[in-house]
A and B are shown apart, each in its own frame.
Chain A
Amino acid sequence: MATESQPHGPLEQFIIQPLVDVKLAGVDLSFTNSALTMVMAVGLVITMLTIGMRRRALVPGRWQSIAELSYEFIANMLRENVGSEGRRFFPVIFSLFMFVLFGNMIGMLPYSFTFTSHLIVTFALALAVFLAVTIIGFVRHGMHFFSFFVPPGTPILMWPLMIPIEIISYLSRPISLAVRLFANMTAGHTLLKVFAGFIAALGVLGVVPFALVIALTGLEVLIAFLQAYIFTILTCIYIHDALHMH
């Protein structure tokens, strides 16, 4: 799609704009609007959780409750999906959830940017998860980890069929993980922009798309949370697979 030809199209919101040019050893590492929202997300998470836990009261206030609820939410998710061994991965899982959640939520603010709507970002996260999980599997089980590609109880006759299928399904994990988040964010924001475009175009009748946009915004907030949850819980399940093999 030609974004340049329709500057106010629904896809304009996804354009990366360099804010500060940074070149490191000839490589373009410019600080862009995407990087800005990332910094905002990280800053917001750290500020919120740090301020919340400033007093560490016995009876938590609002901010402390948020911090404690997030902590217990992820801790429970990890315990239920990975088990007690998952404790070690808690900081990274928690950070992952917060990073994606705040990336999605900041994107819900008008005129802001959604860094999770960029395939390269979600793919980088998914690939990191995939590589980490694979490394965990090999460290834990050594060469025995290859037996992961043969589900227990498979007749030897079926091996030539099952092994390629399992390998493909394993390798497609980072792709599905990345595309799920990227596609959900992109589709939702595009839809919002398309309907928003109708508001001005339809004049008085614009109230109909306007109501729709309001409803969709609510839905998008839900999806923003849900996709962060799904991304995190799938990571937990992959870690469980690597630790326990099936």
Chain B
Amino acid sequence: MPQLEQIDTYLSQVFWTALCFGILWIVMWKVTLPRIAMALEQRQSRLDDDLERAAQVKTEADTVREGYEKALADAHAEGQAAIRKQIAEMNEASVQRHAELTEALAKRIKEAEITIAAEKTRAMESVREVAVETASAATERLVGVSVDAESARKAVDSALSKTGTEAGD
């Protein structure tokens, strides 16, 4: 196995290993790795910046949206209040008009009742006159006795008051 036989090359191999590895180490350490690190860092900071800006814009959008929603809610509430106010006013007016109307009607009913009562009294008066005349005429024809006006009226009154109490109520 050459690895274990060529002992005379060991020093040379170790020397070249150390030299090559040393060069690689120094170049990586001083040149290459810092460059890669810088590129990665730049990208990371760029990403962080972008994310930050996106978050900022999002916050702004949220604020705008909140304002819009608030305005919308306000307008809605305002509209509702106006409608409620209008309804209340209309209700009030209707109640008032209803009361006025009721009052007017009551008044007219009362007037009508008074008129009716007066008419009724007058009618009763005329009915009595007719009854007295009819009674005296009938008595004269049937019995042949002329009844004086005073006694006929008394008789009619008593008869009327009797039926009046029966039919009146």
Contacts and interface: CB of A to CB of B under 8 A. Distances in A.
A240 interface: no
B5 to A, nearest CB: 7
A39 B27 CA distance: 13
B28 A124 contact: no
Nearest to B22: A95
Contacts of A64: 39
A92 B23 CA distance: 11
Contacts of A201: none
A27 B11 contact: yes
Given A30-B12, A32-B9, A39 B20 contact: yes
A28 B8 contact: yes
A56 B39 contact: yes
B14 interface: yes
A71 B24 contact: no
Interface in A83-101: 90-92, 94-96, 98-99
Interface stretch (B40-48, B72-80, B159-167): B40-48
A28 B12 CA distance: 6
A118 B3 contact: yes
A104 interface: no
Contacts of B46: 58
Interface stretch (B29-37, B103-111, B133-141, B148-156): B29-37
A95 B25 contact: yes
A22 to B, nearest CB: 8
Q: Is the interface of B mostly helix, strand, loop or mixed?
A: helix
B107 to A, nearest CB: 95
A32 B39 contact: no
A28 to B, nearest CB: 6
A152 to B, nearest CB: 35
A45 B24 contact: yes
B17 A91 contact: no
B10 interface: yes
A99 B25 CA distance: 9
A31 B16 contact: yes
B6 A16 contact: yes
Contacts of B12: 16, 18, 22, 28-32, 35
Given A46-B28, A120-B14, 9 more contacts: A3-B1, A3-B5, A50-B31, A71-B40, A95-B29, A99-B21, A118-B3, A119-B4, A125-B17
Interface of B: 1-6, 8-18, 20-21, 23-25, 27-29, 31-33, 35-40, 42-43, 46
State the 6 A-B residue pairs at the shortest beta-carbon distance, nearest first: A91-B29, A35-B16, A38-B20, A95-B25, A56-B39, A14-B2
9 contacts: A16-B2, A16-B9, A46-B27, A46-B28, A91-B28, A92-B25, A99-B24, A120-B9, A124-B14
